[in-house]
Amino acid sequence: MPASSIATDVRGVLATALATSLASVYTSVPETVIPPAVVIVPDSPYLETTTIGKSVTRVKINMTVSAAVAYNNNAGALNQLEVLIIALIGLMPTGYVVGDVSQPTIISVGASNILSADLSVSTYYTQT
Amino acid sequence: MPTTIVTGRDLVLTIATVNYDAQTTAVTLVNAPVITTYQTLDGKAYKHIDDQWTLNMELLADWGVASSLFEAMWTAADTAPNTALAVSLTAVTGAVFTCNVFPVFPTVGGTAPEAQTDTWTMLVNGTPAETFS
């Protein structure tokens, strides 16, 4: 059995579970964001040691799931973002703690504007 | 003499030979002494008459997984509530405390959106034995 990794067993599992027809899902920040998109980004603090002992390496992983949609008109973009976030919350796999959603903000990427909001997510990872 | 710092990562906890490190976020072995005070003609007199030890644990629930610790503790509390479980708590290499505790039913449930956690307060049967080396 290969050694576990955060990339495969946490971010990969999360990206697979969040796969939706509403947006493209990335396990890390892509070079080019093409909305609608869902990007899994490390939060701060990223890894927290919460358990006692050294026999097992176990950490709490804090992540941000950034949902982004094209900012073409305000009402439409906000509605599309809300639909996307509600869909993401519904798709969240077992064992992932869902936190709050931040205020939507407009981000300029290249020549286009996107409307983005962050959903905080955390889970526990045991190295095997 | 150099400063010695022992952290929670130095702790090792086993109950009924099962290692609970991966689910335990905090553990303490606490004594509550019973000291009787007498008011004599010469002033106060004290007599230590009893000790009650308690093992306090804070854990992350692991219901449903294979070899679940919570399910094992539930089963122990359900089927053999009067049978004490052997505990070994290593504070750091060279300081090991062993005792026997009575099982408790884990609390079921939690608070949205946090992880399900629980606190176990288990009475110790008698006095812990220490091994210092």
Per-residue pLDDT tens digits for A21-36 = 888 899 888 888 888 9
B92: contact with A, CB 8 A cutoff: no
Q: Are A50 and B25 a contacting pair at CB < 8 A? A: yes
Q: Are A53 and B26 a contacting pair at CB < 8 A? A: no
- The set of residues, in sequence order, having a beta carbon less than 8 Å from that of A67 and lying 6+ positions away, is A23, A36, A37, A38, A81, A84, A85, A88, A116, A117, A118, A119
Comparing CA positions, the residue from B105, B26, B6, B65 lying closest to residue A126 is B65
* Tokens (6 digits) for A102: 């931040």
Which residue is listed with tokens 């509530």?
B81
Q: Are B22 and A98 a contacting pair at CB < 8 A? A: no
For residue A67, give the CATH number of its domain: 3.30.2000.10
Query: Does the residue A59 lie in any domain?
Result: yes
The total domain count for chain A is: 1
Comparing CA positions, the residue from A39, A35, A120, A40 lying closest to residue A76 is A35
Query: Does the residue A50 lie in any domain?
Result: yes
Instruction: List pLDDT tens digits, range B75-132.
Output: 999 999 999 999 999 998 889 999 999 999 999 999 888 899 999 999 999 999 999 9
Report the alpha-carbon angle B70-B27-B126, nearest 5. 90
Q: Region of A28 please: left (phi>0), alpha (psi -120 to 50) or beta.
A: beta
- The set of residues, in sequence order, having a beta carbon less than 8 Å from that of A6 and lying 6+ positions away, is A61, A125
* Domain of residue A105, residue span: 6-126
A128: contact with B, CB 8 A cutoff: no
3-state helix, strand, coil in chain A (%, to 5): 25, 45, 30
Query: Does the residue A1 lie in any domain?
Result: no
Query: Does the residue A113 lie in any domain?
Result: yes
Query: Does the residue A70 lie in any domain?
Result: yes
Q: To the nearest whole number, what is the mean pLDDT of chain B? A: 92
Q: Are B21 and A50 a contacting pair at CB < 8 A? A: no
